[in-house]
């Protein structure tokens, strides 16, 4: 699964997830005025402003003329990585974001497209059923039969639209497409032209056109990528958030936003969220914060899953208030995340409880004591 978590913290509305160019329209307008330096062709913002848009202004209020604004932090991670992404998109290679599921690859790609082209909707959502026309073009068959091959009968793909406009096209989950379909991108990325033999035409990309693809190189059901296609991309690996405090903060923020949609404040202690994130990090890395070894379960333990658990607990506390102490829900939900398709993962979670949670419970922390007492939930 991938995260589609571009929602701003408090923006309840009819649409579940409005695109970032809509959510952050004011920030984008401000940044366009803030940095008036040279821009690559067709770009709405300068590269520096794009970076600032994605990583935020670190609490600092930026000023230009009479306007002043602090840019919110959207991607929690390495600034240098975002700089490389932006620089790549201004160059002649595509950008491929790779990483474990749930590390905000799609979010970064949406933010970049929104900041650079003002439009994150030129998207191909890759699946095993994606066909070549999703990357090239299709036909309006009634028009085709009526009038024969005419430019009006051609239905452009999002990629072709982006080529005509000089925008950034996005390809989600490119490795889920079959390799021969993926390779439709090879010549588009190297020649920057798309031939339409039926019309005898050659569609040339406007300057500013580029492609952001996201991929998971190690999941089940993903295809190989050809060496030819790999060479057309610069690779950026997005890892999990390095810092416990920042991850905890992110989980709290997102869970708060989700429960706010349900019209209630988040009734989960910060300590519970921190403990939850700690467990996720321990199981994700195979090593606890104290340095003890842990067996990693096979399931995905990303920040996105931590958000899901925290908000589920929050919603449970909202909809069923007073039933139970929220901390008591933690082991149940954890088990739900950990035990997906491998029964042995339950054993690993138990072992984690017997070693790590037990040792923490031997310390002073009351919460860990409480969690340790809940071991039977896991059995």
Nearer to other proteins, 179 or 265 (CB): 179
**Which part of the chain contacts other proteins (CB under 8 A), choosing from 5-13, 111-119, 137-145, 288-296?**
288-296
Q: Out of 3, 5, 88, 259, which residue is the one contacting other proteins (CB under 8 A)? A: 88
CB of 67 to other proteins, least distance (A): 23
Q: Out of 286, 298, 362, 373, which residue is the one contacting other proteins (CB under 8 A)? A: 286
CB of 296 to other proteins, least distance (A): 8
Examine residue 373 and tell whether it contacts other proteins (CB under 8 A).
no
Examine residue 298 and tell whether it contacts other proteins (CB under 8 A).
no
Strand partners, 235: 96
Question: Which tokens belong to 62?
Answer: 């930026």
Question: Which tokens belong to 234?
Answer: 């610069």
Distance CA 265, CA 255 (A): 10
Distance CA 263, CA 306 (A): 21
Count of positions on this chain that bind other proteins (CB under 8 A): 37
Distance CA 163, CA 174 (A): 18
CB of 47 to other proteins, least distance (A): 5
Q: In the window 233-272, what residues touch other proteins (CB under 8 A)?
A: 233-237
**Which part of the chain contacts other proteins (CB under 8 A), choosing from 11-19, 43-51, 320-328, 329-337?**
43-51
- Give the 3-state secondary structure of residue 311: helix
Nearer to other proteins, 204 or 293 (CB): 293
Query: Pattern of binders to other proteins over 92-121, x per CB under 8 A?
Result: xx--x-x-----------------------
Region of 221 (left: φ > 0; alpha: ψ -120 to 50; beta: rest) is left
**Beta-strand relationship, 210-215 and 168-172:** parallel
**Which part of the chain contacts other proteins (CB under 8 A), choosing from 6-14, 85-93, 114-122, 176-184?**
85-93
Nearer to other proteins, 95 or 310 (CB): 95
Distance CA 313, CA 286 (A): 25
CA angle, 154 as apex, 150 and 158 as ends, to 5°? 155
CA 289 to chain centre: 25
| CB environment 286-308: b (16+ within 10 A), e (fewer) | eebeeeeebebbebbbbbbbbbb
Examine residue 358 and tell whether it contacts other proteins (CB under 8 A).
no
Half-sphere exposure of 338 (CA within 13 A, CB side): 28
**Which part of the chain contacts other proteins (CB under 8 A), choosing from 62-70, 136-144, 166-174, 224-232?**
224-232
Q: In the window 317-346, what residues touch other proteins (CB under 8 A)?
A: 344
């Amino acid at each position: 699964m991938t995260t589609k978590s571009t929602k701003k913290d408090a923006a309840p509305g009819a649409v579940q997830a409005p695109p970032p160019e809509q959510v952050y329209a004011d920030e984008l307008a401000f940044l366009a005025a803030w940095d008036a330096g040279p821009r690559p062709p067709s770009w709405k913002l300068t590269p520096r402003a794009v970076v600032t848009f994605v990583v935020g202004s670190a609490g600092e209020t930026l000023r230009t003329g009479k306007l002043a604004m602090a840019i919110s932090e959207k991607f929690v991670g390495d600034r240098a990585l975002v700089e490389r992404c932006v620089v790549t998109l201004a160059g002649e290679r595509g950008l491929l974001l790779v990483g474990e599921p749930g590390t905000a690859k799609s979010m970064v790609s949406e933010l970049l497209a929104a900041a650079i082209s003002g439009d994150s909707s030129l998207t191909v959502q890759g699946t095993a059923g994606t066909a070549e026309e999703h990357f090239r073009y299709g036909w309006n068959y009634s028009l085709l039969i009526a009038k024969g091959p005419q430019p009006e009968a051609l239905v452009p793909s999002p990629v072709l639209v982006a080529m005509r406009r000089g925008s950034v096209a996005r390809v989600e989950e490119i490795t889920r497409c079959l390799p021969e379909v993926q390779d439709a991108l090879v010549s588009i990325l190297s020649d920057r032209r798309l031939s339409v033999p039926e019309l005898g035409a050659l569609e040339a990309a406007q300057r500013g056109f580029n492609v952001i693809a996201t991929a998971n190189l190690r999941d089940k059901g993903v295809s190989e990528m050809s060496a030819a296609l790999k060479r057309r991309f610069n690779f950026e690996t997005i890892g999990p958030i390095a810092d416990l405090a920042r991850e905890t903060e992110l989980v709290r923020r997102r869970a708060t936003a989700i429960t706010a949609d349900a019209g209630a404040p988040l009734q989960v202690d910060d300590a519970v969220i921190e403990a939850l994130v700690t467990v996720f990090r321990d199981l994700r890395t195979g090593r606890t914060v104290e340095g003890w070894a842990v067996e990693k379960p096979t399931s995905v333990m990303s920040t996105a899953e931590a958000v899901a658990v925290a908000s589920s607990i929050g919603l449970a506390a909202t909809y069923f208030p007073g039933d139970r102490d929220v901390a008591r829900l933690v082991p149940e939900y954890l088990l739900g995340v950990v035990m997906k398709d491998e029964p042995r993962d339950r054993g690993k979670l138990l072992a984690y409880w017997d070693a790590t949670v037990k040792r923490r419970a031997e310390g002073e922390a009351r919460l860990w004591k409480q969690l340790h007492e809940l071991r039977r939930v896991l059995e």
